[in-house]
Structure 1
Amino acid sequence: MKRGKVEMVSSTVSTARQTRSEVIERVERRLSEFLAAERERWLGVNLRGAVPVEAVTDLVAAGGKRLRPAFCAAGFLAAGGDPAEPLLVDAAAGVELIHTGALIHDDVLDASELRRGTPAVHTLHAAGHVEHGWLGEPRRYGEGVAIISGVLANVYADRLTRDLPPAARDIWSEMLTEIQIGQYLDVAVAAEGVVDPDLSRWIAICKSGRYSIHRPLLLGAAIAGRQDLAPVFEEFGEALGEAFQLRDDLIGTFGDSTAAGKPVGLDLEQHKMTLLLADAAERDESVRKLISAREWDTAEILDRLGEGKERIEQHITLLVERACGAIDRAGLDEDWRRELAEMAVEVAYRNR
């Protein structure tokens, strides 16, 4: 399915999109009200008690694509679930909080100073430490606040999803495990200088693409009691998850930091074996030699990656076609087949 063909059917808002948008509006309210209540609760104990809650709240309020809640809602609604189901809203809000916690921790691990156009949690609180002249090391304090805040986001997510049915709980647990193991492997491979394109591909898809699309879709379908849709959503999610991550890598390597809301180019500076780099290493011996060196020639690597951008764009198009083909064979309502296809295009061709 070509990008233009999908966009042609997007001129009017479908019933599916409107219903999904209404669910996401309820998710936004749930997050806002839940976090506001938590802030008030801990302010009543001590002013400092609200600091990690505010860190989570501020990042949620800073925006973001709400991609994961959107796919959770889409999986549930496409499976025939009742849009008024409160558990759907809690699960979608929980997925967003898991993402929030992951971002806070990512920024520490990647030494990224910006997130969504504002200082990252660890950066903000390290600066506050300096400003107030507190005791100890500012960096450690800022990173400590970030670690605690990220864990708190996960705790809140678990609270919101405590009533998940067993099948959905299994998917939830698997998603959280994949994120943590994938994150560790990402750190380990960079530190050890491992050149293993297959492993790097698995890490990239596992720690980002899979939990962004595949697992939220399965979670939504499981809440609706439609585990039979798992094979279709897996095929759709795996293909689109790879496209999502390749686009993420293109933005992180060649994009505009203002549009992205975060620094670009950090992955190469930190010897991260992204999916984009792993793909290039599989195809180009000179790239493999460059990344096998202890010190990377980032300018040369960047040039090599730039030469392959057109082929990556073509590969992304093929992945979108594969994802849409899976949905076409799913036996879903036509409105939802169209909606999922349009979501695939939006994910694969975004600029941030």
Structure 2
Amino acid sequence: MAGSALADFLDQKCHTAESSRSLEPKETLRGFLSSGGKLIRPVMCLCGWYAAGGAWDPGPVVKAAASLELFHAFALIHDDVMDDSDARRGRPALHRLLAEFHRHRHTPGHAERHGVHAAVLLGDLALAWSDEMFHTAGLSPAQIRAARPLLDTMRGEVMFGQCLDLLATGRPIGDIEHALTISRFKTAKYTVERPLHIGAALAGAGQAMLDTLTAYALPLGEAFQLRDDLLGVFGDPRETGKPVDDDLREGKHTVLMAFGIARADHSQLSVLRSLVGRSDLDAEQADAIRDVLVSTGARAAVEQMISSRRRRALSALHGAPLPPHAITALRRLAHAASARSS
């Protein structure tokens, strides 16, 4: 449902382009949004709506939920620029793609800068469109008043989490709690808790319902990010759509890396300190880091944390005052989000 609503919105934007010049950036952004993605935030939003007793045919709520995917596109595009990523969803990251489009018109350095600048602007466009789609979805004034503060809170939290992530990148330490704090704001709240809250608020939910959803959402959101951390180091690029060594080259301060550093002996710590965060990291060096993360038990510890958090999320559904179909959907999402390979 949300995917169709998003496609309709993007089609309308491209159809109403004033000229071929204004169509080009719109088509590029539509291509990015059509290149894949799990639509997990819109899905969570709709689950929140159903959980709080919303009708089966939510109409405008689907459009409001789909607007979250436009905001996510903004976050991904800017994140890839900040991380200098090469790929996203199995294809070149948007700033790389835009640089390639214009390489025939610029010297290599200028083409790269052009790609970055154009990607930032298209990310801004996705942010503007997310607002537009939310406010033109056909929600009632009461629904907007209920959901807008949660939407604003979600945006602030993910920016805070991204800032913490950026400040810690390049100098990971053995501080597991700090790494969890980053994942809580960057992912757990943004991906699961707030979308559920927004959907529930659109159905008229009170604080008790939001608290019930939080008990499920935060452990699941953390499990989702912990799985992402593992896939970023041990995943198959053919499935994840991203280079497998990027997190190691950037020196991301993840729970996985924090466990490795905290548990490493002197020689293992020397490997991590000398190699993690090197922009010229090669495949053999990346494998040496992986060996340490396995031999210290860091990988196994993160797997245990994922299982523990999934159990906590599922336990929160026992006896929860939610419709049976909503509980069934949330249980399926808990398994899909924590046991994925991409």
- Same fold (TM > 0.5): yes
The equivalent of 1:71 in structure 2 is 44
Find the partner of 1:221 among 188, 200, 223.
Answer: 200
After superposing the two structures, state which structure 1 stretch, 330-339 or 177-186, moved more: 330-339
* 1:55 partner letter: T
Please give the residue correspondences for 1:103-118 in structure 2 after superposition, counting only pairs within 5 Å.
103-118=76-91
| Local SS of the residue matching 2:95 | helix
CA, structure 1 residues 182+281, in 2 after alignment: closer, same or farther (shift >3 Å)? same
Q: Normalization by structure 2: what TM-score?
A: 0.87
Is it true that 1:165 corresponds to 2:144 in the alignment?
Answer: yes
TM-score after normalising by structure 1:
0.85
2:293 maps to a residue whose letter is L
Change (3 A) 1:40 1:304: same
Is 1:82–2:52 an aligned residue pair?
Answer: no
Q: How big is the shift at 1:195?
A: 5.8
Which of 277, 285, 307 aligns to 1:317? It is: 307
Change in CA separation of 1:34 and 1:245 when aligned onto 2, cut-off 3 Å: same
Counterpart amino acid of residue 255 in structure 1: G
How far 1:253 sits from its partner (Å)?
0.6
8 Å CA contact 1:104, 1:121 repeated in 2: yes
Conservation of the 8 A alpha-carbon contact between 2:44 and 2:192: yes
- C-alpha RMSD of the superposition: 2.3
SS at match of 1:175: helix
| Number of the residue aligned with 1:335 | 325
Inter-partner Cα distance in structure 2 for 1:283 and 1:229 = 40
Aligned equivalent of 1:15: none
* Structure 1 range deviating more: 120-129 or 290-299: 290-299
2:294 aligned residue (272, 292, 306)? 306
Find the counterpart in structure 2 of residue 28 from structure 1: 3
| TM-aligned CA deviation for residue 350 of structure 1 | 0.7
User: CA separation in 2, counterparts of 1:61 and 1:92?
Assistant: 17
Answer yes or no: is 1:274 the counterpart of 2:254. Answer: yes
Partner of 2:117: 144
1:348 shift after superposition: 0.5
Gaps of 5+ in 2: 277-284
SS for the counterpart of 2:169 is: helix
Match for 2:215 among 210, 235, 243? Answer: 235
Amino acid at match of 2:94: V
- Counterpart in the other structure of 1:14: none
Q: Which residue of 1 aligns with 2:129?
A: 156
Q: Deviations over 1:58-89 (max 9, x none)?
A: 12211211111111111111211013233311
Shift, 1:286, TM fit? 5.5
Superposed, 1:178-193 pairs within 5 Å as 178-191=157-170
Counterpart Cα distance in 1 of 2:331 and 2:81: 35
In 2, Cα distance between equivalents of 1:195 and 1:313: 18
Q: Distance in 2 between matches of 1:287 and 1:235?
A: 41
* Deviation of 1:298 (Å): 4.7
Please give the per-residue CA displacement for 1:297-345, whole angstroms capped at 9, x wherever unaligned.
7544322222333332222111111001111131212332222111100
Structure 2 partner of 1:200: 179
1:102 matches 2:75: yes
Q: CA deviation at 1:351?
A: 0.6
2:339 match: 349
What letter is aligned with 1:137? Answer: H
1:40 counterpart = 2:19: no
Identity of aligned residues (%): 34
Local SS of the residue matching 2:16: helix
1:113 deviation in Å?
1.5
Cα distance, 1:199 vs. partner?
Answer: 2.3
Specify the alignment match of 2:280 in structure 1: none
Alpha-carbon offset, residue 129 of structure 1: 1.4
Q: What residue ranges of structure 1 are gaps of 5+ in the alignment?
A: 1-24
CA distance in 2: counterparts of 1:265 and 1:89, whole angstroms: 37
2:251 counterpart SS class:
coil
Shift of 1:209: 2.5
Q: In structure 2, what residue type is equivalent to 1:349?
A: A
Where 1:96 maps in the other structure, the secondary structure is helix
Asked if structure 1 preserves the Cα contact closer than 8 Å seen for 2:171 and 2:253, the reply is no
- Counterpart selection for 2:190 from 193, 208, 211: 211
More displaced stretch, 33-42 vs 211-220: 33-42
* C-alpha displacement of 1:144: 0.8
Q: Select the residue among 226, 246, 270 that pairs with 2:226.
A: 246
